[in-house]
Every structure is written in structure tokens, then in C-alpha cells.
Structure 1
Amino acid sequence: MNHRCITGALLAGTATLAVVTGGGVPAAAHPFGPPTTARVAVDGARVDLSWQPAEDDWVALGQSLGAFEDPTTGPVTTQVTGEQKLRDSTAVQDYLRQRITVSQQGQVCRAELQPLDALLAQGARLRFDCPAPVTALDITVTALTDLNQAYRTVLRAESATPAEALFTATDGTHRVDFTRSGGRSAPAAALAVGVVAAGGLGVLLVALTRRRDRSTQ
């Protein structure tokens, strides 16, 4: 499937990507682009974390987890957008819970994945309940690094030490100290900052076309 066919399939809203690169990463992925962003806020024993990959990385993740149909093996549902397919995929939900975790003094904080109704605009949002009011946390973010080890995530934590941390395939866990903030940081609503959804996933992946076009110029 050439670039034009890939783009056409994505813009049609099917979000099916049958082509993978030699390294096994779906062709939509851009592990060498800007890092994925994440934000964390604490309030007492509660932790809110948002993880915001680029639109084409959502496609790469969904394709790798089977969230989208493969047109080479069967029919493709076009009545449902790619974003909805990601939202409803139990494989995607399980992946996020397994790859984004928080622990406190060696104890894993109970995770609740918030509804993925606006994942393109707000990212994946997880809420963690820790055993005690938060002073320090061990945060693990390894999402996407299983697709390509070049993926990175920058975590920002207001009034924490460090205020920013870089998560990589070889350094997927960082300790973040919230003592300076008194166990309270940015409100959870502030975490819902990300790209503005432009409709279905296929429409949003115009960004994919632009990135790929720039790379070939």
C-alpha cells in the first residue's frame, strides 16, 4: 500500500493501516518526532495523570493492538470513527492501565482509567488512589516504547521536583517529589490540555499527511 492509499484510508475514517515498517512499527508512527507529553496533579492521596500522544501515534497504537479492522482479512466498519474504535477497545484500555502506573513507597496505587470519550483532545486520563497522602511517587510511563524504543514521554508536574521528567525505553520510571507543593498541585481540570479534536480519527490524521509530506521534501 503506497502513501496515497494509506492517507486515503485514514481520511475515510477507517483508520486501518496494513503497512508496517521493517522494524515492525506501523507506518503512521513517528517515534523520532517530538516526545509525547503527560501531566500529573496530586490532591491528598489522589493522583490524576493525563497522557497525550500525537494523533498518528494513536493510530499506530490502535493498529498494533487490533483496535482497527484489517481490510485485507475482512470488512471494515465505516459507521464508527477511528477515535470511537480506540475508545471502545478493551485491548487499548488494558494497555494504558498496564503501561502507565503509579506507586507509593513500593505499593501500587489503584488505577482507574477515565472514559476515553475525548482521547484525541484530552489524551488518556487515569486517576490513581494511593494508600496515603502523596509526598513522593514512583511514576512509570512505558506506553509506545514497545512499538519503538525511540519513543519518549515528557512528564510535567507543577510545583514538584523534578518539574519535568523524560521517560524512555531504558528509563521508564521516575520518582517525583511533591513535598514542595504540600501534596497538592494543579487541579485535575488543567490536565485536559491537548490538541483540539477535528472530528473522527481519520479526519484528524491530516496531520499525518503533512508530517510525511515534509519528510519527503
Structure 2
Amino acid sequence: MNYRAMLASGLALAAVLGPGAPAAAHPFGPPTVARAAADGTRVDLSWQPAEDDWVALGQSLGAFEDPSTGAVTTKLTGEQKLARSSTVGDYLRQRITVSQDGQACPGRLEPLDDLLARGARLTFDCPGPVRTLDITVTALTDLNQAYRTVLRAEAATPAEALFTATDGTHRVDFSRSGRRLDPTATLTVGITALGGLGALLLLLSRRRTRSTT
């Protein structure tokens, strides 16, 4: 079944899939991929499930009309219905979270424009400079416990973490992210360089003196 075409079209997905939509997804396939990067006190996280999983999620949250209870509009694509659903937005904000030292980092969900290509994108603002964070990803596991998400974190330890129905939170260390050169190290390098330059000038001066005598 071409889920991408279904989401991009104005068809009523519920009419096509019926009440068993969540089972039509692929919880036993490759895990959903999430990516995280930290900069200062900010964390950017993207979560990108497969097209069929967006369909299952949208149906379970009522983002698509139920043809058995009323008319179905074809003026909006399935992707647009997902993007405009406040229930989908609330779900993502509740199930993808970040905390620092036990304190939640306020997050905002970016507009779900082009979600098939870009996924759901969230930005979190933490109380202090980002080092060690607890990241929680439990989206989709309420539909089927076989769902998993692999997080790939930029310049972090671990570089990858697997989120499951029974292990939905992982601690990630971003200490290496955006690390700047130690000022004392910079000073030491500068002093060493100046010392080397002084020695070179002294050597050249001695050579000139010898050549003129």
C-alpha cells in the first residue's frame, strides 16, 4: 500500500484503512529515527517515522475523519490534516521530552510542514548550558509495544540510544558538543609560540652579526 501517496492525496485515510489502521503499520520493521543536537542551552530534536506510521498515528488520534460518522473532506491532504491536528501536536509534545537535572526543558513543536520529509521537529530551551540531559521518546509505543526509536545525538555520549516501550528515557551527555578551547590552553600555546619566535629572531640576529664581521 502506497502510504506516501495516500498522505499526499486528499483521500480519506480512514475510509481506506478502516478501524484496523494501527495494525497496518510496521512496528516490527526498522526503528524510527530521531536526531538531537545541542547548542548552548538549546536542544533541537527531530523525530521521523515512516509514512505508514504517520497514517496509523493520525488515525488513532482522530486526525482523519471517520466516514461512518460523517462526511470526509478531500480539500486537505492527509499530510495537511496531520499538521493541523491539535491532538497530534499535543501527543508529540507529551511523548517527546527533555529534562535537565530533573527539571523539564520547555519545548515547542515547530510547524509540521513537509512532515514526511522533515519529520516532527521540536526545540527545547533548558535552564542552563546543555551537558547531561534525560531524553524521553515514547511516541508510537502506545499503539504497539514493538515500536522502537533510535536516537542519534550529535557529538554526544552515547552517540546512539534505543528507545522502547520498556526503556523510554535515556541519559545523554552533550559535554563534547560545541566545546571551546580552554583559555589556559590558548594562553600556553601563545606563550610557546612567542618564545619560539623570540628564539628565531635571536638566531637570525646572530647570523647577521657573523656575516658582517
TM-score, length of structure 2 as denominator length:
0.78
Query: Among 11, 14, 37, which residue is 2:12 paired with?
Result: 14
**In 1, Cα distance between the equivalents of 2:44 and 2:4?**
35
From the superposition, tell whether residues 9 and 70 of structure 1 become closer, same or farther in structure 2 (CA, over 3 Å): farther
Deviations 1:96-136 (A, max 9, x none): 00000000000000011001111111000000000000011
**In 2, Cα distance between the equivalents of 1:92 and 1:122?**
16
Letter in 2 for 1:97: R
Q: Which runs of 5+ in 1 are unaligned?
A: 185-217
- Give secondary structure in 1 for the equivalent of 2:13: coil
Give 1:46's aligned residue.
Answer: 42
Query: Among 87, 93, 104, which residue is 2:89 paired with?
Result: 93
**In 2, Cα distance between the equivalents of 1:50 and 1:56?**
18
Contact 2:4/2:51 (CA < 8 Å) preserved in 1?
no
Contact 1:43/1:183 (CA < 8 Å) preserved in 2?
no
Deviations 1:123-168 (A, max 9, x none): 0000000000001100000000000000000000121100000000
Contact 1:19/1:27 (CA < 8 Å) preserved in 2?
no
Larger Rg: 2
Structure 1, 92-101 or 11-20: larger mean CA deviation: 11-20
**Identity over aligned residues, as a percent?**
75
Contact 2:10/2:76 (CA < 8 Å) preserved in 1?
no
Deviations 1:39-61 (A, max 9, x none): 00100000000000000100000
Q: Which runs of 5+ in 2 are unaligned?
A: 181-213
Deviations 1:24-77 (A, max 9, x none): x62431100110000001000000000000001000000000000011111100
Q: More helix per residue: 1 or 2?
A: 2
Count of residue pairs the alignment pairs up:
177
What displacement does 1:183 show?
Answer: 5.7
Give 1:74's aligned residue.
Answer: 70
- Give secondary structure in 2 for the equivalent of 1:61: helix
**In 2, Cα distance between the equivalents of 1:145 and 1:94?**
16
Contact 2:39/2:178 (CA < 8 Å) preserved in 1?
no
Question: 2:133 aligned with 1:141, yes or no?
Answer: no
